[in-house]
Amino acid sequence: MLRGLDIRDMLIIDRLELNFSAGLNVLTGETGAGKSILLDSLGFVLGWRGRAELVRQGADQGEVTAWFELSPDHAAFDVLREAGWDVEDELILRRVNTRDGRKTAWINDRRASGEVLRAVSETLVELHGQHDDRGLLNARGHRALLDEFAGLEAALSDVAAHWRDVRAANRALGAARAELAAVKDEEEFLRHAVGELDALAPEPGEEAALDTRRRLMQGAEKIRDDIARAHTAMGRDGAEAQLDAAMRWLDDAASGAEGGLDEPVAALSRAMSELADAQAGVDRVLDSLAFNPSELEDTEERLFAIRALARKHDVLPDDLAAFADELRVKLQALDGGAHKISDLEAALTAAQKTYDRAADELTAQRQLAAANLDAAMSAELAPLKMERAVFTTDVTPCDAGPTGKDEVAFRVATNPGAPSGPLNKIASGGELSRFLLALKVCLTRSTTGLTMIFDEIDRGVGGATADAVGRRLAEVASAGQVLVVTHSPQVAALGAHHWRVEKRVTAGADGDITTSTVVPLNADDRVDELARMLSGDKITDEARGAARALLGG
């Protein structure tokens, strides 16, 4: 709840510090005393839209600080955690407005954006009045209000989860259909290309090997004769025979050379071994150069076919095999696409049925809650002298979504048989105030810890009706905190805490200065204030007696 408000240099307030308590807090004062300025200042620190010029004349800047006492599980802390704040026990909002219009906000001494400030303030304070376009008069919020009244959080969560399942199944089916359509557009190309690649069956590295073989065969005739002559020169009729003869002669002479021929014989033996290796290498080359004349033609034909296919598909020759695999995968997707889409359609149908069941159950619960709310409203309107008025909660079909398939609208008819319509279109000012109050009483019976502001919601009513309004405000305040700005003595008498807003004029160096202040009232002061509200500027003993009677209940 709101515990305190500190206002400096805002409009006609120079310095004002207020401490609030739980229950019904009443603010009264003469017209023009500054009650609306107090609410403007509170709205400013909460980030609400309001007046453009707020800084007091002669001041460089205006500043408002509000501090709140909240339970550890309060929704404001969830907003702050999501925004990256370290949550503390106390929540302090501070906002500054400079003379040139710049506005800066802090939450617990950390700079805050207007978006975060407004998100937090929506969980802290509710404002209700005859021009309430943020709350009960906004039809876009009626469904959420009915759901909260009925306690449908679990059912809503269930429906939202099933809606996400439907959306996911829809996306998967759409993607599969798009993929299949794209593949179908190139089906003819895929089948022809895969057939062509399968027929050629290129392998990685094959193009380089074929090119090497081709060049080898092209030069084979030129080098084969030289290699063959070299082979003959090294063979049995050439070097091999000569070395073999030399080895025999040296072996025969070695015994008489007293070891002098041992090293030459060893070197000659090594030479014969190297010669044998050279002969083997030359044999292999000669074997490789031995080819069928048509082999060159076949090699060139395959090499050119691989290169042509690579150019056709704009890939490297070594990548043709991998490219063929990619095309086969697309063909498999094409061939299996119909079955996949059938499975996805079945999954979507199942998800849709599950969602429909949950949404239909939510609709039934909303219709039951609507009947309960209408009955509760009927009971509340009678004491407010609106027993002939009819309040209805319309639950009508709408497009499916994460919150179900229903639209909800609060409608009223001020007299039996009269056409019903939206709250703010049918009811007069006083009737609207009472409708809003009755609705708020019904909607907050199971809610605690709220801080609500009612701005002259009792305007246009008096006597017993005003007393009924005050008692309903006190009932709402019993579960939390209510600030009410009122001109009704019947309402003011029911407050647990009472402040009077006063306008003061003091002389200054540059002329008279008008300021507004708020004064807490003790028991005697309350009698005088209620007497003023009853009788006007001249307070009589009779008015004081009537005031005491009101305070005595």
pTM attached to this predicted model: 0.61
d(C-alpha 309, C-alpha 202), whole Å: 10
pLDDT per position as a tens digit, 42-86: 889 998 876 667 888 888 899 999 999 888 888 888 888 888 888
From the DSSP assignment, how many helices (H) and strands (E) are in the chain? Answer: 17, 15
501's tokens: 């807003």
Helix residue spans in 419-498 (DSSP H): 423-426, 429-443, 463-477, 489-492
The whole-number pLDDT of residue 525 equals 92
Provide mean pLDDT across the span 471-489: 87
The whole-number pLDDT of residue 291 equals 65
384's tokens: 């407010």
pLDDT per position as a tens digit, 310-363: 999 899 989 998 998 888 887 777 776 677 888 899 999 999 999 999 999 999
pLDDT per position as a tens digit, 216-255: 777 776 677 777 777 778 877 778 778 888 888 888 787 7
Per-residue pLDDT at 430 exceeds 80: no
Four-residue CA torsion sign, 359, 363, 366, 372: negative
Per-residue pLDDT at 168 exceeds 90: yes
pLDDT-derived band at 428, boundaries 50, 70, 90: low
pLDDT-derived band at 429, boundaries 50, 70, 90: low
DSSP annotation of 407 reads E
Average pLDDT, the chain: 84
Provide mean pLDDT across the span 434-461: 75
The whole-number pLDDT of residue 86 equals 80
Our CA dihedral for 287, 281, 207, 300, rounded to 10 degrees, sits at -30
- Beta-sheet pairing, 125-129 with 451-455: parallel
d(C-alpha 353, C-alpha 334), whole Å: 29
pLDDT per position as a tens digit, 394-425: 999 999 999 999 999 998 888 777 788 887 67
Provide mean pLDDT across the span 437-466: 75
The whole-number pLDDT of residue 133 equals 44
Provide mean pLDDT across the span 183-191: 74
pLDDT-derived band at 528, boundaries 50, 70, 90: very high
Provide mean pLDDT across the span 104-124: 90
Give the whole-number percent of the chain exceeding pLDDT 70.
92
The whole-number pLDDT of residue 347 equals 94
d(C-alpha 141, C-alpha 48), whole Å: 18
